[in-house]
């Protein structure tokens, strides 16, 4: 009996050991999954929210509730570069002309996040103030095409020549689990407004 | 101890069972997030398709009244309707629906005028836009656009039958279409100027030639900066009338039409007026001669809000003539013309003679529409004027009174 008890005890310790190892391993896996799924969700939700805003902004490029205020539909885009654009629009559809600018900041502006690649995106309405609109951007790149489909390479000295725009946006989570960052990408190949050159 | 192990396993299983839905829930929310975006995009695309359908109907028939509901498109539907606005513009509303999402597109249409073209040509004939040519403002050719080298077009370019060469760029030919380019667009010259005739007869002023004396019927208008116009009426060499009167008194709606005669014009315009010369059945008439500078009292280059507009609408040519007494009288070095020029069957050109020599510029600020393209210089070495054309951007919004319309609608704004 004494031998049997000792054997039971030893088996129990081994089983318990296995179980503890499993629990630790599963706990680690669960934590990782929870973190990654959570990050994925956050990144994707941020991307979708951002894309909805930027699609709306770009499709209203050159729009004004008071159309008479758009005197030159070919001069809607004021300036453009590979990660910057400024154009005329009517934010809020109140009949007042506004300028809207998107541009990507420098990665050094987000040193507080563990992600070394993420950069801030700025969206300025009628202002030169640099208000961060979105964090976690790792790619925000425009590709401009002329009316004949030719690529217009920066620096763009004549923004009137821009006929359509493709935009690639990449987001990454600011923090990682085991150096794995969650990321999401979106690309629109033909982002333009019907108000450009409509007359 | 075996019992405790079982309890441990059970407890662990319960914890895992609790976590799985959490992880699963996050995955589902990611998917729902994607579905939400997809449905929104589909609803918007359906609304845009509906707007395109309706826009096409309006382009085919500008007076069409459109009202359709729940037109099925894929798994969604759209409803389209048009309403006439108080300013006579047409508001098209297209509502797209896809599953749980709705999206509305609003498009505003308005009548299009020939004044919106920096350069309109029914045909270019054998003339080419070449390197060094700059066309400002929208332009249209109701035939083939001839280009060679790298002419620059700052406004939107439309043509009916494409370009020559047909594929661009082509060798040294690479025109710069900074305002966009579209082929297959037809904007034909009106078959007559009856609309102006009607406007002149109801609220404007019509001049018609008396039976005698014999000779060409002519009206000479000199606009004064105080809003009046001094005009003289001639038949042949006989002066019939000479007076000065306010533009608004002479033609309350701003339309002055000479039927069966020619117009000579110069001066400084203060107000909104359209001069029109029709030939009727009288040969050699229906022309407008620009006898000197034509300016606006409130210069739109300095003040884009200027409300001075002049339309020069001719059945035949619009001409910068040699001066009376030429060559004894020399030609002006430069000529400034602020106006919208429309030549229904002719061209806008300068009378040229080698004795005039090489002069300065025709500084033109406005809009030019003609059947063919005219010349301001000729010869080698050349004599005449260089052309310095600039488009008056006010004309995208406002035009001289009753200026010829294209009879097709244009999109004024597109909100989606």
**What is the ipTM metric for this complex?**
0.84
User: According to the model, what pLDDT value does residue B403 have?
Assistant: 97
Structural domain boundaries in chain B: 2-99, 189-398
B46 HSE (CA, 13 A, CB side)? 24
Q: How far is CA B260 from the centre of its chain?
A: 28
Return d(Cα A141, Cα B223) in angstroms, integer.
Answer: 56
Partners of residue A38 in chain B, C-beta under 8 Å: 26
Secondary structure element (H or E) that encloses residue B205, with its range: strand B205-207
B222 touches B175 (CB < 8 A): no
**Domain assignment present for A108:** yes
Taking CB atoms and an 8 Å limit, are B30 and A44 in contact across chains?
yes
Report CA torsion sign: B393, B396, B398, B403: positive
Q: Which two tokens stand for residue A96?
A: 């007042």
Q: What is the pLDDT of residues B351-384, one digit of tens each?
A: 999 999 999 999 999 999 999 999 999 998 889 9
What φ, ψ does residue B49 adopt, rounded to 5°? Answer: -60, -45
Taking CB atoms and an 8 Å limit, are B33 and A63 in contact across chains?
no
Residue of chain B minimizing CA distance to A23: B12
Q: How far is CA B330 from the centre of its chain?
A: 36
Q: Given pLDDT bands bounded at 50, 70 and 90, which one contains residue B414?
A: very high
Residue of chain B minimizing CA distance to A8: B1
**Domain assignment present for A22:** no
CA distance A64 to chain B (A): 7
Residue B407, number of CB atoms within 10 A of its CB: 12
**CB pairs below 8 Å between A and B: how many?**
127
Taking CB atoms and an 8 Å limit, are B177 and A193 in contact across chains?
no
CA distance A129 to chain B (A): 27
Q: Which of B5, B396, B414 sits opposite A194 (nearest CB)?
A: B414
Partners of residue B169 in chain A, C-beta under 8 Å: 148
Q: Which residues pair with A99 in a beta bridge?
A: A88
User: According to the model, what pLDDT value does residue B309 have?
Assistant: 98
Q: Which of B5, B108, B394 sits opposite A15 (nearest CB)?
A: B5
Taking CB atoms and an 8 Å limit, are A74 and B154 in contact across chains?
yes
- Which three-class secondary structure state does DSSP give residue A185? strand
Q: Which two tokens stand for residue B81?
A: 């309707």
Secondary structure element (H or E) that encloses residue B53, with its range: helix B2-60
Partners of residue A199 in chain B, C-beta under 8 Å: 112, 116, 138, 156, 396, 410-412
Taking CB atoms and an 8 Å limit, are A52 and B156 in contact across chains?
no
Taking CB atoms and an 8 Å limit, are B411 and A38 in contact across chains?
no
Provide the mean pLDDT of chain A: 86
Taking CB atoms and an 8 Å limit, are A74 and B1 in contact across chains?
no
Residue of chain B minimizing CA distance to A161: B178
- Which three-class secondary structure state does DSSP give residue B20? helix
Percentage of residues in chain A having pLDDT higher than 70:
96
Residue of chain A minimizing CA distance to B175: A148
Residue B2 has pLDDT above 70, yes or no: no
Partners of residue A45 in chain B, C-beta under 8 Å: 29-30, 33
Secondary structure element (H or E) that encloses residue B104, with its range: strand B101-113
Q: What is the pLDDT of residues B307-327, one digit of tens each?
A: 999 999 999 999 999 999 999
Q: Residue written as tokens 């539907």? A: B77
What torsion do the CA atoms of A15, A20, A26, A29 make, to the nearest 10 degrees? Answer: -140
Phi-psi region of B53 (alpha: psi -120 to 50; beta: other; left: phi over 0): alpha
Choose between B233 and B10: higher pLDDT. Answer: B233
User: According to the model, what pLDDT value does residue B66 have?
Assistant: 92
A30 HSE (CA, 13 A, CB side)? 16
Secondary structure element (H or E) that encloses residue B46, with its range: helix B2-60
Taking CB atoms and an 8 Å limit, are B12 and A26 in contact across chains?
yes
User: According to the model, what pLDDT value does residue B288 have?
Assistant: 98
| Degrees to nearest 5, angle at CA B194 with B399 and B258 | 80
Partners of residue B178 in chain A, C-beta under 8 Å: 74, 158, 160-161
Residue A155: give the domain boundaries. 44-191
Return d(Cα A178, Cα A30) in angstroms, integer.
Answer: 13
Q: Which of A37, A73, A195 sits opposite B27 (nearest CB)?
A: A37
CA distance B312 to chain A (A): 22
Based on its alpha-carbon atoms, the radius of gyration of chain A, rounded to whole angstroms, reads: 26
* Cis before A155? omega within 30: yes
Taking CB atoms and an 8 Å limit, are A34 and B23 in contact across chains?
yes
Q: Which residues pair with B348 in a beta bridge?
A: B318
Return d(Cα B69, Cα B1) in angstroms, integer.
Answer: 74
**Domain assignment present for A24:** no
Partners of residue A41 in chain B, C-beta under 8 Å: 26, 29-30, 33
Based on its alpha-carbon atoms, the radius of gyration of chain B, rounded to whole angstroms, reads: 31
B369 touches B395 (CB < 8 A): no
Partners of residue A146 in chain B, C-beta under 8 Å: 177
B245 touches B252 (CB < 8 A): no
3-state helix, strand, coil in chain A (%, to 5): 35, 30, 35
Taking CB atoms and an 8 Å limit, are A19 and B9 in contact across chains?
yes
Q: What is the pLDDT of residues B187-224, one digit of tens each?
A: 999 999 999 999 999 999 999 999 989 999 999 999 99
Q: What is the pLDDT of residues A53-110, one digit of tens each?
A: 888 999 999 999 999 888 788 889 999 999 999 999 999 999 999 999 999 888 777 7
- Which three-class secondary structure state does DSSP give residue B386? strand
Q: Given pLDDT bands bounded at 50, 70 and 90, which one contains residue B109?
A: very high
A143 touches A151 (CB < 8 A): yes
**Domain assignment present for A25:** no
Tally of domains within chain A: 1
Choose between B18 and A17: higher pLDDT. Answer: A17
Taking CB atoms and an 8 Å limit, are B33 and A93 in contact across chains?
no
Residue A1 has pLDDT above 70, yes or no: no
Percentage of residues in chain A having pLDDT higher than 90:
27
Return d(Cα A102, Cα B361) in angstroms, integer.
Answer: 43
Among residues B68, B41, B400, the alpha carbon closest in space to that of A188 is found at: B41
- If you average pLDDT over residues A145-168, what whole number do you get? 87
Q: Given pLDDT bands bounded at 50, 70 and 90, which one contains residue B5?
A: low
**Domain assignment present for A10:** no
Among residues B44, B185, B28, the alpha carbon closest in space to that of B102 is found at: B44
Classify residue A159 by its DSSP letter. G
User: According to the model, what pLDDT value does residue B387 have?
Assistant: 87
Return d(Cα A123, Cα B245) in angstroms, integer.
Answer: 57
User: According to the model, what pLDDT value does residue B29 have?
Assistant: 78
Taking CB atoms and an 8 Å limit, are A37 and B26 in contact across chains?
yes
**Domain assignment present for A12:** no
Q: What is the pLDDT of residues B52-106, one digit of tens each?
A: 999 999 988 888 889 999 999 989 999 999 999 998 899 999 999 999 999 999 9
B273 touches B310 (CB < 8 A): yes
Q: Which of B138, B178, B416 sits opposite A199 (nearest CB)?
A: B138
pTM score of the predicted model: 0.80
**Domain assignment present for A5:** no
Residue B112, number of CB atoms within 10 A of its CB: 21
Cα→Cα distances B47→B89, B98, B108, B142, B180, Å? 21, 10, 15, 32, 25
Residue A103, number of CB atoms within 10 A of its CB: 18
Taking CB atoms and an 8 Å limit, are B414 and A15 in contact across chains?
no
**Domain assignment present for A95:** yes
Partners of residue B181 in chain A, C-beta under 8 Å: 147-148
CA distance B242 to chain A (A): 40
Return d(Cα A188, Cα A167) in angstroms, integer.
Answer: 5
Provide the mean pLDDT of chain B: 92
Return d(Cα A153, Cα A145) in angstroms, integer.
Answer: 9
Return d(Cα B251, Cα B176) in angstroms, integer.
Answer: 43
CA distance B290 to chain A (A): 29
> Where are the extended beta strands (E) located within chain A?
77-81, 84-89, 98-104, 119-125, 132-145, 151-152, 164-172, 183-191
């Amino acid at each position: 009996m004494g031998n049997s008890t000792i054997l039971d005890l030893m088996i129990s310790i081994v089983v318990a050991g296995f179980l503890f190892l499993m629990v630790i391993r599963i706990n680690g896996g669960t934590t990782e999954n929870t973190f990654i799924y959570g990050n994925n969700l956050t990144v994707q939700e941020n991307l979708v929210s951002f894309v909805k805003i930027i699609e709306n902004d770009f499709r209203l490029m050159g729009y004004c509730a008071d159309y008479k205020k758009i005197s030159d539909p070919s001069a809607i885009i004021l300036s453009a570069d590979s990660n910057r654009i400024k154009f005329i629009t009517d934010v809020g559809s109140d009949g007042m002309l506004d300028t809207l600018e998107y541009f990507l900041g420098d990665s050094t502006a987000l040193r507080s996040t563990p992600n070394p690649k993420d950069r801030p995106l700025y969206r300025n309405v009628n202002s030169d103030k640099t208000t961060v609109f979105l964090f976690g951007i790792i790619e925000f790149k425009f590709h401009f095409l002329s009316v004949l489909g030719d690529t217009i390479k920066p620096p763009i000295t004549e923004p009137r020549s821009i006929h359509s725009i493709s935009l690639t946006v990449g987001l990454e989570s600011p923090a990682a689990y085991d150096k794995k960052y969650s990321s999401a990408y979106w690309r629109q190949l033909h982002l333009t407004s019907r108000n450009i050159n409509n007359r | 101890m075996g019992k405790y192990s079982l309890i441990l396993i059970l407890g662990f299983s319960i914890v895992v069972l609790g976590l799985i839905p959490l992880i699963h829930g996050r995955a589902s929310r990611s998917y729902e997030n994607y579905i939400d975006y997809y449905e929104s995009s589909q609803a918007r695309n359906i609304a845009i398709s509906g707007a395109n359908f309706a826009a096409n109907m309006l382009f085919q028939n500008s007076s069409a009244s459109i009202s359709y509901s729940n037109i099925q498109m894929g798994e969604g539907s759209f409803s389209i309707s048009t309403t006439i606005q108080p300013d006579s513009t047409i508001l098209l509303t297209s509502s797209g629906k896809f599953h749980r999402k709705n999206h509305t597109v609003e498009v505003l249409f308005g009548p299009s005028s020939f004044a919106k073209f920096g350069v309109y040509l029914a045909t270019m004939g054998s003339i080419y836009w070449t390197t060094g040519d700059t066309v400002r403002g929208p332009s249209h050719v109701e035939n083939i656009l001839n280009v060679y080298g790298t002419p620059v077009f700052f406004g939107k370019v439309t043509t009916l039958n494409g370009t020559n060469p047909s594929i661009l760029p082509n060798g040294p030919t690479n025109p710069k279409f900074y305002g966009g380019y579209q082929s297959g667009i037809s904007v034909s010259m009106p078959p007559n100027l009856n609309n102006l005739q009607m406007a002149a007869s109801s609220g404007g002023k019509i001049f018609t030639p008396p039976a005698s004396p014999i000779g060409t019927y002519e009206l000479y208008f000199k606009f004064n900066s105080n809003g009046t116009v001094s005009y003289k009426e001639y038949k042949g060499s006989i002066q019939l009338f000479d007076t000065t009167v306010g533009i608004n008194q002479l033609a309350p709606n701003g339309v002055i039409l000479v039927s069966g005669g020619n117009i000579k014009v110069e001066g400084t315009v203060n107000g909104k007026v359209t001069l029109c010369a029709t030939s009727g059945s009288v040969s050699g008439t229906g022309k407008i001669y620009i006898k000197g500078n034509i300016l606006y009292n409130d210069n739109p280059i300095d003040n884009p809000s200027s409300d001075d507009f002049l339309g020069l609408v001719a059945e035949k040519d619009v001409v910068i003539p040699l001066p009376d007494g030429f060559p004894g009288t020399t030609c002006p070095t430069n000529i400034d013309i602020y106006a919208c020029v429309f030549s229904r069957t002719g061209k806008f050109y300068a009378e040229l003679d080698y004795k005039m020599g090489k002069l300065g510029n025709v500084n033109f600020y406005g809009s030019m529409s003609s059947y063919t393209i005219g010349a301001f210089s000729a010869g080698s070495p050349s004599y005449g004027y260089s052309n310095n054309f600039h488009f008056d951007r006010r004309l995208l919004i406002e035009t001289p009174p009753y200026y010829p319309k294209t009879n097709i609608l244009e999109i004024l704004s597109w909100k989606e």
